[in-house]
Amino acid sequence: GAVVSQHPSWVICKSGTSVKIECRSLDFQATTMFWYRQFPKQSLMLMATSNEGSKATYEQGVEKDKFLINHASLTLSTLTVTSAHPEDSSFYICSAEGGRANEQFFGPGTRLTVL
Amino acid sequence: GENVEQHPSTLSVQEGDSAVIKCTYSDSASNYFPWYKQELGKRPQLIIDIRSNVGEKKDQRIAVTLNKTAKHFSLHITETQPEDSAVYFCAATLNAGKSTFGDGTTLTVKP
């Protein structure tokens, strides 16, 4: 089946620094990728839709200048959390649409802890 | 936008019993309804899905039913086993692939 990887799997950083998370589709091309955030014991909240070669579409309430998304190729999307603060600590998961229509394949997630 | 409600939030069953989780959605344009199982600290795993042109789908011990008129869909797990214990999420998806997730159901199967 389709495989999506994420890097890093976990990261700890100081408040005020920026963190980049990569999402790759390993064996298929994904024109659309999605970025989610999941707080402990909560559901997945869609942050943005990443489209290859165009600007990302952000959900209401998500700051596009704080969460920079770049989808430079059909296999790679990156999420950069700029000037991270402790409240940004969360589990960030990407997914890529591939195969059957609308079916999403999730990456393993990145656990971000901001001190 | 789409709104998905999922019930119950927690469910405890005895091994061998059946478990049912229900979701309702608000946007009639949603046409793809996946169910995911998520274990602690891991990614969601698709366990079954159904599209709007189908009313029921079954895969071994797992089945999903969809009532488009009432805008609700349900997950049925029969002969539950301890390894079925996890958090289950339903989702409703529009054509663009954008999914809205339910709040999740923590299923505990007691041996």
Lowest mean pLDDT among A23-32, A35-44, A97-106: A97-106
**Cα gap A97→A88, rounded to integer Å:** 26
Chain A residues close to B41, C-beta within 8 Å: 91, 109, 111
Whether the CB of B53 is below 8 Å from some CB of chain A: the reply is no
Q: What single DSSP character describes residue A89? A: -
Give tens-digit pLDDT for B77-93. Answer: 999 999 999 999 999 99
The whole-number pLDDT of residue B74 equals 98
**Cα gap A86→A41, rounded to integer Å:** 18
**Cα gap B36→B6, rounded to integer Å:** 13
Whether the CB of A98 is below 8 Å from some CB of chain B: the reply is no
The whole-number pLDDT of residue A5 equals 95
What rounded mean pLDDT belongs to chain B? 94
Give tens-digit pLDDT for B41-62. Answer: 899 999 999 998 889 999 999 9
Q: Rg of chain A's alpha carbons, rounded to an integer?
A: 13
| Sign of CA pseudo-dihedral B27, B43, A103, A22 | positive
Phi, psi (rounded to 5 degrees) for B108:
-120, 125
The whole-number pLDDT of residue A1 equals 65
Mean pLDDT of B81-109: 93
What rounded mean pLDDT belongs to chain A? 92
Judge whether residue A101 has pLDDT over 80.
Answer: no
Instruction: Please report, as a single letter, which amino acid is at residue A36.
Output: Y
Mean pLDDT of A47-59: 90
Q: Dihedral of the CA atoms A78, A82, A86, A90 (nearest 10)? A: -10
The beta-carbon neighbor of A43 closest among B31, B45, B101 is: B101
Give the closest residue to B87 by CA, choosing from B58, B45, B27, B57: B45
B3 with B90: CB under 8 angstroms? no
Å from B70 to nearest chain A CA? 22
- Within chain B, strands assigned E span 4-7, 10-14, 19-25, 32-38, 45-51, 56-59, 62-67, 72-77, 86-93, 99-101, 105-110
Mean pLDDT of B13-20: 98
Q: Give the residue from chain A lying closest to B102, CA to CA.
A: A43
The whole-number pLDDT of residue A61 equals 93
Judge whether residue A98 has pLDDT over 80.
Answer: no
